[in-house]
């Protein structure tokens, strides 16, 4: 017994750091991180004022809603599903908030109404997908049209938000030394933290991964497949509503034309963040990084000033393609 | 680690003395009009390995699924330790101490070994899963079973055999009273089976009741203590393994004499095949990383058997002959026409038919009827613009259902409701309907019972006698030897020998495969290299 044991003190910390290789499952997320750092470094070299930490904080502020949307989408994609309705739910949320505030509701009642609507929509889609065995693509496509239609039903005109609580929350800044951040960004980061915990350290979270790996196995292992599968759409619906609130704080209006195609941005961010579209592999922190990569491309192009904004789309498209191809190779080698 | 390692003395529980841990009484289950189980009973005692025997379609899987809560029972009762239970879900059955390991590893490939073992019952601290506790507990359970792997590694890094053991580790981690192993050995090699048996014996000695399903009779006789035999959804009998001869067992499984098998055995191999032009001739056929350049000749009415271990290149060769993979080197000649196969379509045009080893993924269309499945290949070769006339359809389907004794004999039954053996027969019919000149059968009898196996073998022999040329691939050497006129032996992705099948014995083939480097066929280090796919 004693001859076989290795004295743990004999390996120095430096040795352990030096010989550390991350497990392969972290490669995609590390690739995204490297990409982000690379883009940030590129910007820092080329444009004056880009390497200011405030640029990073602004990225968080400007993309807070997309981060929250990406969190919800990560849950769904990890099970192997997809949620196309989130963009429309964001629009519906801004509209419900604007309309109820215009009608004189208290901001808290308004917020509750928004979150409840998103959650219930998610629940309905989840039930449809699981119990009627409808393709997530189709069920959430129906949700997309439904939510967008409801938005028009409430008002075809744009409604601006002038409620004091909302405007205060929207502009209130928190200073960290000489840099500042908005509450919306803090809420987004908190969402990421909670989601990361739920996915990594709760049975619900691990079941999400198990379903993505093999739904029939998960069922035979006696896991709560129905609850979890419906649950991820509820979470996505809730996150979409929360993102809608953050978006309405960002833009201070409700409009039926808001957030058209935003679900695709969210999916792009999740994929660039290293989550496999077939489910089972990926991390919510990756999605955060994915949003940041998309955001920094936008910032780079606006710093440049000479490039047209459509370059954002082209570069996003190319990145997405590159990541999907790389993932394909990674998974093929494994099998 | 003071593990009890006393050898088992009495394996058979004396009737009446000990009470069964599980008793299933008069279980009946009906699917639509099909009565899958008809008043079947099963008793399981602690500390025994109990073999569940029967042909495919006898109701073994149904009985297991009734016990594990996948199917609901129409009549009868399940008594767990003296108390009646009703299982409405796999979770409920697991809670009662019944764990199952299915033929296909039912774990999730993307999570770690430890997570796969603990999913749904992870140790928690302050409401959060404790990864450290989980890994520690997983490691302990694995070591207890004699499996030394890192619980933090991802499951899909390990070969199927290890995954199978992980599945068992998951099953026993809950202090299972009953462990059901549904054909766990069908994809394992001899060493791996031995490893599995060691684990099974250890668990049995600890008092676990193990239900073991396998088509390999030798394995049953090696490991099982008692057995329950089913036939056509009915209970035939419950017997002690030690007091039953193999012949008696087979007889009660299939309920008829083994004429078909015997008849085949006396048939002399044809040696006059090498006359005339070969129907198919391959020269230097090869593909990078898959098969080294291989020559093969196939004459009319001849059965060429391909023998070799898993991963020896036998399936790869079949796929090249059918154009399922494209060859990098070499050429193929069909009668006198030289032809490069870029897709299976080209092979089908030359009247080649191929039945894949993976019937689940590459053959069976579960949601179509038996008739539709049979006519699929014929329809495809006719093109969609020329539907098969109704009368001809009925005629063909009825003929082949009768000829191959497909059960149920209902052309409108859904394919997925058929047992494995009957599905295989439908696939055979699918290709025979196209009236091929060359039939490539890759593992046509894997995982199917002895009765259906004999029928398929008899049919192959009969077809060859009528002039069909057959390439027959099987992991079972006895079967290859029984059927083939000529024998091709493969190892390490190349052909190592070819001989006319006269008085070639299993031992001879094993010696050829083992070669000079491995005089002992059971040489241990060989297995790992040979099984990778």
- Least Cα distance to A283 among A185, A195, A203, A204 occurs for A195
Instruction: Report the gap between the CA of B107 and the closest CA in chain A (Å).
Output: 5
pLDDT at position B328 is: 86
pLDDT at position A111 is: 95
CA dihedral (B357, B220, B91, B140) positive or negative: negative
**Angle at Cα A294 formed by Cα A291 and Cα A297, nearest 5°?**
145
* Probe site for chain B from A21, A197, A206 (most B CB atoms < 10 A): A206
pLDDT in tens, A42-80: 999 988 888 888 999 999 999 999 999 999 999 999 999
Query: Is A220's CB within 8 Å of B102's CB?
Result: yes
Q: Which residues of B touch A203 (CB under 8 A)?
A: 120, 122, 129
pLDDT at position A331 is: 64
Instruction: Report the gap between the CA of A201 and the closest CA in chain B (Å).
Output: 5
Decide if A274 touches B, using CB distance below 8 A.
no
pLDDT at position B310 is: 67
pTM: 0.71
Decide if A198 touches B, using CB distance below 8 A.
no
Domain CATH number, residue B392: 3.40.50.300
Residue B270, in any domain of the structure: yes
pLDDT at position A10 is: 53
Residue A198, in any domain of the structure: yes
Res. A244: pLDDT tops 80: yes
Residue A23, in any domain of the structure: no
| Range with lowest mean pLDDT among A33-37, A131-135, B214-218 | B214-218
Residue B103, in any domain of the structure: no
| CB contact at 8 A, B297 and B280 | yes
Cis, bond preceding B408 (omega within 30 deg of 0):
yes
Structural domains of chain A, count: 1
Residue A14, in any domain of the structure: no
Q: What is the pLDDT along chain B (533 residues), one digit of tens a residue?
A: 344 443 333 344 445 557 889 999 999 988 776 778 889 999 999 999 999 988 766 888 889 988 988 888 888 999 998 889 888 888 888 888 888 888 777 889 889 999 999 988 888 888 889 999 999 999 998 988 888 899 999 998 888 778 888 988 888 877 788 999 988 876 677 777 888 898 889 889 988 999 998 877 788 889 999 999 998 888 988 999 888 887 778 777 766 544 444 445 444 445 444 557 888 888 889 888 788 888 998 988 899 999 877 667 888 898 898 888 888 888 888 888 888 888 888 888 888 888 887 777 777 888 888 898 888 888 887 777 888 888 888 888 998 888 888 888 888 888 888 877 888 889 888 888 888 889 999 888 877 777 788 888 888 888 888 889 999 998 777 788 888 889 998 877 888 888 888 778 777 877 787 764 444 444 344 333 333 33
Q: How many other C-beta atoms can be found within 10 angstroms of the C-beta atom of residue B335? A: 14
Q: How far apart are the first and last CA of chain B?
A: 37
Q: Which residues of B touch A208 (CB under 8 A)?
A: none
Residue A26, in any domain of the structure: no
| CB contact at 8 A, A283 and A199 | yes
**What distance in Å separates the CA atoms of residue B139 and residue B126, rounded to the nearest whole number?**
22
Residues of B with a Cβ under 8 Å from any A Cβ are 70, 89-91, 93-94, 100, 102, 106-111, 115, 119-120, 122, 127-129, 131, 152, 154, 156, 170
Cα–Cα distances (Å) from B45 to B13, B80, B139, B191, in that order, read: 7, 11, 29, 28
Q: Which structure tokens are listed for B171? A: 């099953």
Domain of residue A251 covers: 53-293
**What distance in Å separates the CA atoms of residue A21 and residue B519, rounded to the nearest whole number?**
42
Residue A11, in any domain of the structure: no
- Which of B91, B115, B127 lies at the smallest CB-CB distance from A206? B115
Residue B499, in any domain of the structure: yes
- Exposed, middle or buried, B506 (CB in 10 Å: 0-12/13-18/19+)? middle
**What distance in Å separates the CA atoms of residue A101 and residue A95, rounded to the nearest whole number?**
10
CA dihedral (B512, B515, B516, B522) positive or negative: negative
Res. A291: pLDDT tops 90: yes
Instruction: Find the closest chain B residue to A224 by CA distance.
Output: B120
pLDDT at position A323 is: 82
Structural domains of chain B, count: 1
pLDDT at position B255 is: 65
**Angle at Cα B478 formed by Cα B473 and Cα B483, nearest 5°?**
60
| Range with lowest mean pLDDT among A307-311, A317-321, B273-277 | B273-277
**What distance in Å separates the CA atoms of residue A39 and residue A37, rounded to the nearest whole number?**
5
**What distance in Å separates the CA atoms of residue A31 and residue A22, rounded to the nearest whole number?**
12
Mind spelling out the 3-state secondary structure of B43-96?
EECCCCEEEEECCCCCCHHHHHHHHCCCCCCCEEEEEECCEEECCCCHHHHHHC
Listing from the earlier edge strand, what are the strands of the sheet with B494-500?
B352-355, B438-442, B469-473, B303-307, B486-491, B494-500
Domain of residue B410 covers: 263-531
Average pLDDT of the segment spanning A120-133: 95
Q: How far apart are the first and last CA of chain A?
A: 38
Computed over every residue of chain A, the mean pLDDT equals 89
pLDDT at position A8 is: 47
* Probe site for chain A from B120, B127, B148 (most A CB atoms < 10 A): B120
Residues with Cβ within 8 Å of residue B385, at least 6 apart in sequence:
none
Instruction: Report the gap between the CA of B42 and the closest CA in chain A (Å).
Output: 22
| CB contact at 8 A, B79 and B85 | yes
- Which of A24, A202, A224 lies at the smallest CB-CB distance from B129? A202
Q: Which structure tokens are listed for B520? A: 């002992």
- Least Cα distance to A245 among A87, A94, A99 occurs for A94
Query: Is B110's CB within 8 Å of A24's CB?
Result: no
Cα–Cα distances (Å) from B29 to B37, B52, B66, in that order, read: 5, 17, 8
Give the three-class secondary structure for B24: strand
Which residues in chain A (1-30) have CB-CB distances under 8 A to chain B? 23-25
Residue B461, in any domain of the structure: yes
- Exposed, middle or buried, A230 (CB in 10 Å: 0-12/13-18/19+)? buried
Q: Which of A121-135, A211-225, B354-368 has the highest mean predicted lDDT (pLDDT)? A: A121-135
How many CB pairs lie under 8 A apart between chains A and B? 74
């Amino acid at each position: 017994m004693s001859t076989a044991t290795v004295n743990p003190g004999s390996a120095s910390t430096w040795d352990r750091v030096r010989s550390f290789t991350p497990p392969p499952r972290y490669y995609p997320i590390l690739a995204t991180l490297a990409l982000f750092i690379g883009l940030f470094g590129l910007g820092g070299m080329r444009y004056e004022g880009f390497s200011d930490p405030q640029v990073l904080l602004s990225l968080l502020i400007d993309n807070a809603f997309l981060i929250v949307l990406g969190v919800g989408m990560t849950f769904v994609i990890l099970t192997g599903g997809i949620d196309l309705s989130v963009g429309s739910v964001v629009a519906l949320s801004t509209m419900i908030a604007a309309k109820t505030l215009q009608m004189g509701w208290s901001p808290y009642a308004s917020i509750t109404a928004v979150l409840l609507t998103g959650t219930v929509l998610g629940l309905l889609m989840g039930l449809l997908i699981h119990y009627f065995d409808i393709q997530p693509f189709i069920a959430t496509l129906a949700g997309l049209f439904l939510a967008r239609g409801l938005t028009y039903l409430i008002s075809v005109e744009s409604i601006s938000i002038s409620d004091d609580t909302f405007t205060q929350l929207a502009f209130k800044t928190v200073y960290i030394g000489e840099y500042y951040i908005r509450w919306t960004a803090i809420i987004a980061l908190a969402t990421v933290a909670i989601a990361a915990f739920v996915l990594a350290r709760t049975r619900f979270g691990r079941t999400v991964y198990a379903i993505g790996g093999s739904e029939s196995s998960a069922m035979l292992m006696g896991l709560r497949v129905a609850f979890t599968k419906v649950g991820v759409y509820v979470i996505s619906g809730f996150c979409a509503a929360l993102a809608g609130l953050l978006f309405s704080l960002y833009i201070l209006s409700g409009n039926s034309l808001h957030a058209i195609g935003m679900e695709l941005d969210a999916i792009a961010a999740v994929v660039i963040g290293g989550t496999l579209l077939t489910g089972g592999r990926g991390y919510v922190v990756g999605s955060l990084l994915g949003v940041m990569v998309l955001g920094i491309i936008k910032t780079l192009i606006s710093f440049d000033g000479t490039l047209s904004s459509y370059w954002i789309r082209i570069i996003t498209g190319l990145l997405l393609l590159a990541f999907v191809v790389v993932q394909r190779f990674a998974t093929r080698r494994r099998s | 680690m003071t593990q009890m390692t006393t050898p088992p003395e009495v394996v058979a529980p004396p009737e009446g003395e000990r009470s069964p841990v599980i008793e299933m009484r008069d279980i009946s289950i009906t699917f639509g009009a099909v009565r899958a189980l008809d008043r079947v009973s099963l008793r399981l005692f602690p500390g025994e390995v109990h073999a569940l025997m029967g042909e495919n379609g006898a109701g073994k899987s149904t009985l297991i699924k009734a016990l594990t809560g996948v199917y609901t029972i129409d009549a009868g009762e399940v008594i767990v330790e003296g108390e009646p239970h009703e299982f409405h879900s796999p979770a409920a059955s697991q809670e009662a101490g019944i764990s199952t390991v299915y033929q296909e590893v039912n774990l999730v490939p993307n999570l770690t070994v430890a997570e796969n073992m603990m999913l749904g019952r992870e140790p928690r601290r302050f409401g959060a899963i404790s990864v450290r506790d989980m890994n520690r507990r997983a490691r302990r359970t694995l070591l207890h079973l004699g499996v030394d792997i890192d619980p933090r590694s991802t499951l899909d890094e390990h070969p199927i055999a290890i995954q199978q053991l992980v599945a068992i580790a998951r099953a026993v981690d809950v202090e299972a009273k009953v462990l059901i192993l549904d054909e766990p050995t069908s994809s394992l090699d001899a060493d791996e089976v031995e490893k599995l048996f060691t684990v099974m014996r250890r668990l049995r000695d600890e008092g676990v009741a193990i239900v073991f399903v396998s088509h390999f009779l030798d394995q049953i006789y090696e490991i099982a203590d008692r057995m329950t035999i089913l036939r056509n959804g009915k209970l035939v009998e419950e017997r002690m393994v030690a007091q039953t001869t193999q012949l008696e067992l087979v007889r009660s499984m299939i309920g008829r004499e083994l004429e078909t098998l015997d008849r085949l055995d006396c048939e002399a191999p044809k040696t006059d095949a090498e006359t005339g032009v070969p129907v198919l001739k391959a020269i230097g056929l090869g593909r990078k990383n898959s098969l080294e350049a291989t020559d093969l000749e196939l004459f009319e009415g001849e059965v060429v058997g391909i023998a070799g271990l898993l991963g020896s290149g036998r399936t790869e060769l079949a796929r090249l002959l059918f154009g399922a993979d494209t060859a990098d080197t070499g050429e193929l000649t069909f009668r006198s026409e030289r032809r490069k196969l870029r897709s299976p379509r080209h092979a089908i045009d030359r009247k080649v038919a191929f039945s894949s080893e993976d019937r689940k993924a590459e053959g069976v269309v579960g949601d179509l009827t038996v008739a539709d499945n049979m006519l699929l290949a014929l329809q495809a070769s006719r093109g969609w613009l020329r539907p098969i006339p109704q009368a001809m359809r009925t005629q063909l389907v009825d003929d082949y259902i009768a000829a191959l004794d497909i059960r149920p004999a209902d052309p409108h039954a859904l394919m997925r409701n058929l047992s494995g053996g009957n599905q295989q027969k439908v696939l055979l019919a699918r290709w025979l309907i196209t009236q091929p000149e060359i039939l490539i059968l890759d593992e046509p009898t894997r995982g199917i019972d002895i009765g259906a196996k004999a029928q398929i073998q008899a049919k192959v022999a009969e077809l060859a006698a009528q002039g069909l040329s057959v390439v027959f691939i099987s992991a079972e050497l006895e079967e290859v030897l029984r059927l083939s006129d000529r024998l091709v032996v493969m190892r390490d992705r190349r052909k190592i020998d070819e001989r006319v099948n006269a008085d070639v014995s299993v031992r001879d083939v094993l010696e050829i495969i083992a070669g000079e480097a491995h005089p002992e066929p059971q040489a241990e280090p060989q297995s790992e290299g040979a099984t990778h796919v």
